Structure formats: C-alpha cells, structure tokens
A and B are shown apart, each in its own frame.
Chain A
C-alpha cells in the first residue's frame, strides 16, 4: 500500500474516536431508524402474506390437494390412494376429505350447507384445526353422531350472509343433517376458531357418520389433503406423485386457494408501493444526514487541501467515513430489529381479521436493504466531498 493510502484510515479512525460522541450516536441512530423503516414495512407485509399462506396450509388445503380426475366427482379407492401417497418421497401425511351437501337444521332454522367428512386421526396429521378448538373437543374416530363447527358459523349473526343461521350454537346442541333422504341428528362436540375465514366457515363430521348415512360413499373422497416434509417442495412432490401413477389432479396450496393468489398479489403490490416510498424516504433521510455532516466539515477539507493532501484521498476519507456510519447504522438497526422489534411482535402479533401476523424478513430483502443504506450513504458522502475538493480552497477554509 502506498504510504498516502493510509491517510483516510488515519483520519477516520481519529474522527470516530475523538469527535462529539452524541453527534456520532445521533447520526448512527438516525441511520438505524432509516434502515429499520425500510425492513419493518417489508417484513410486516411478508408477515401478512406468510401468515395467510400458513393458515391456508395448516387449516384448509395442506401443502397439496388431490382432487378427482376431470370428469369424475369422487376419488374411488381413497384408502388405497392415501396409503400409496404416504409412501411417496417428500410426503409426510395424507388424509381423505369428502364434501357433502345436505340440509342442516338447528332450532327450526334449516338450509343447504356443505359438510366435510373426515377421518379425525388422519386429519390431525394434515391440518391443525384440532389444535384450535375454543369450545368442546375435536371429533373422535368412529364418532357417528358428532359434529364440530367453525367459529364463523357459531357466531353468525342474524341477517348475515350464509345458508344457515346457526347463531348461538353451543357444545351439546343438536343439529339435524338431511342427506340423500336420510335424516340424522348430530351433537355439537366442539367449536373451532383458526382465524382463517377459509376454515372457520366449515363444519366437520366423521367419515364413519357419512358411511352410515350414504353407504355408497364408503372408501371415496372428494379431496385428499397431503402434507409435505417441508413447504416449498410441493411441485417436486407432485412430480413424484404423478410419476408413481396415482390417478388424480394435484394442486399446490397456492393453486388450490383461489382467493390466496388475489390476496397475495394485492399485498405484494401494496408492499412494492410502500417499499418504493420507503426507499425514497430512507434515501433522502440518509442523504441529508451524511450531506450535512460532511458539509459542516468543509473547513477541514480546505485545510487538508492546503497542506497538500490529494483530492482523491480526501474524497476517500469522507466516503469511507459515510460507509462507517452506514455500517454502524445497519448494525444498530439489525440489533434493534432482531433484539427488540422482531421478538416483541412474535409475542404480541398484530391481530387482524385474516389472522395473527408476525414480522417476516426474507434474507434477500434484508441484504438488499442493508446494501441500499450503505450505497446511499456512499453517494451522500461522495457528492459533498467532490464539491468541496473542487471548490476554492479559500472558500472551503473560510466555509464561504
């Protein structure tokens, strides 16, 4: 290294060590806030999207939903299919579901309603509805008289949309299901609340109950819900399922939930817009902070020029200084975010109608935003340093 290349480090080290600590702390704190502002909005929207995705997977579709081939209404030989599916690489569990439409009656009120029959033991392996019982208990295998209802059904108010108004239904109440001319009374075993509007408007009975009422549906299903080892490998698992010759149509959780794509797109659009605004605000904030700091040191730049320090070394000094500020700002912002903000919202999630939302930052987003802060800081240091080294030395020294 040429001896003069040490000068920027010589000056920066001493500046950081000896300049006013409160001013330095304020600059770093403001950069940290600008950085947190950039990642917070992004991670909030990622959290909303991730929460919604999680709910779809955990309470509605699993990772993959298998439906009958086109032209068929039912998957026949469902038990065999489930067994075969469970043996496929990447599959953790599978459970059949059958949606049946019949008339439900409660307290003299009746109407058409879709009820889903499940194998409770298998269903526990693919969805988390069983963990979200707010009253009573989940269905037991072989329970031919039990029914559980979602919170949206149980809390349905008079006049709200819905085929059947079950308002006020409680554990122990009797509901009558009329299916294919057969009528059967079910006892409400429990009410579940997942906070997902795609799950909380459902009712479940056991497949054993449907087998009693409609023996022709034994060993059939309208869907098979498949849970994979990990979220993200759905396409690969579908390829394995197809390669194994399992007859059915397969949909990832994103494809199976029509409303999800719309919601995700909407949030992604809002996120993108707010990110652009956030970037602009952060860039302007960082630029002003660094620009003002370096502009206030024009006299120092003038002195350095007067004693013969080369312009490129002077520029390097202030650019490196801006980089040092931004590294510290990003480090402090990261510490505040992961040390305080992120854990706080893990324990106190935002409670919004579509569910509980925590913060989620993707590694790529985090790195990109960190680099943005550093890049803006470099430009903010570069511009006033170049201006000061090109202006008159006397003007710089006298700060004219």
Chain B
C-alpha cells in the first residue's frame, strides 16, 4: 500500500527485452518506494539495469510484470494518453544527452511543456525565471548548438521544472559534462532537493556523485543489491 508521503512505489517489476532470439532480463523483480523529499541515487555498473529502472519511473517504458504506482495511481495499466498527461504534469525527465529541440532557443525549449497547460506569456515568464535560477539569463535566446554541454543540461533541468513536477528523474545527467559543469549541475539538484523540497531520482555510475543523495540504491544484474 502506498503511504501519503510516497511519490512512487515500485512493486516487484521485471523488464525483459527481446534482442533477436535472445531474451535479456534487464530488471528481475525490483521493489522500491520513493518518498517526498528523497534524493535517491541509483547506481551500479554498466548493464545493471539503472537506466531501465529510471525509464519505468519516468513512464517512458512499461514493465513486463509488476506495478508502478505514481502518487497512488497504478500507471502500468494506464492508456498512453493518461501516461502522457502524467509525464507532462507530474514528472520532469533529464536525459544524459540533454534531448533539446535543436530549432528552439533555450527559453523556447523550457516553455514548451508549459505551453500544453498555460498561456504563452505565462510560460515565457516562468521559463525566464527558471533559466535565471540556473544562471542562464544571458543565454535565453541561444540555440542549443550555441550552448556548452553544461549549459544545455541546465536548460534541460529548467525544462524538467517547468510544470512543477512531483518527481524529477535524471539519467546520468553529468555523463557528458566536464568536472566543473558536472559540479554545477549537481549543486542545482542539491538546491532543488534541499531548498525547494523536490523529490529527485538520479542515475549515476560515478561513485563520487552518490554523496549528493540522501538515499542510495545499488543495482546489480537487474536486482537491488544494496540500499542505504
């Protein structure tokens, strides 16, 4: 049963991929509860199932078996339209490769999810505030190709925050960044968690980054091998 503080409850999920004639079991019965205010670090070696787990939490994929409950609702049986609505309003997803639309400026990328809900002027104002919060007020009209990797990731973070989601998911957000940019991005996550009380799940395979979270889950071969 999900408690009032539980943002997401993962109940014994498995995920099996069919690669040609080979079946790959990426997740083998993972159960996990993420509560309001958690900064959960999911770590593990390559191929351990970290990103696959995050895809289930971000409603980008559907588990083969088991359930995922988001704010008390079973999202595994939902129609794609409902899952889409939850992605828009409840989740902010940050990709390793930034995943920005190349033909939109920084501010346009940030305001895009908001435009599904609010007036353009409202979205523009909020996007401007979010970009200022990640110290990109000078680059709001820059296209992604005119930004560094760290700046692009900050834009992606601002976009994830646009609709004030209940859960922020970050898939190895520093993997393509240099040390300084990575540190800046991690500081933003810490601020979001500690100051703004956002719930965050971040996947990383960098041991040093695990210190930023208040909970750590280690995956090994598709199962949780350690939880702190």
Contact = CB atoms under 8 A, between A and B. Distances in A.
Interface of A: 3-4, 6-7, 10-11, 14-15, 17-19, 299-300, 302-311, 313, 392-394, 397
Task: Give 7 closest A-B pairs by Cβ, nearest first.
Answer: A308-B88, A308-B87, A18-B103, A307-B113, A4-B116, A303-B99, A393-B60
Given A303-B99, A311-B80, A392 B115 contact: no
A305 B95 contact: no
Chain B at the A interface: mostly helix, strand, loop or mixed?
loop
Interface string B33-70: 00000000000000000000001001011000000000
B101 interface: yes
B100 interface: yes
B128 interface: no
B47 to A, nearest CB: 16
A308 B160 CA distance: 11
A311 B115 CA distance: 15
Given A14-B108, A15-B103, A19-B103, A307 B115 contact: no
Given A311-B80, A397-B95, A306 B101 contact: no
B104 interface: yes
Nearest to B113: A307
Nearest to B99: A303
B179 interface: no
Contacts of A397: 95, 99
B217 interface: no
B117 interface: yes
Contacts of A15: 103
Given A306-B87, A308-B84, A397-B95, A6 B115 contact: yes
Given A311-B84, A394-B55, 11 more contacts: A4-B117, A6-B115, A11-B101, A11-B104, A14-B108, A19-B103, A303-B99, A304-B112, A306-B93, A308-B88, A308-B113
A307 B94 CA distance: 10
B64 to A, nearest CB: 14
B134 interface: no
A306 B58 CA distance: 9
Contacts of A6: 115, 120
B99 A394 contact: no
Contacts of B113: 307-309
Contact of A300 (B88, B101, B143): B101
B112 A309 contact: yes
Nearest to B117: A3
B120 A303 contact: no
Contacts of B99: 299, 302-303, 306, 397
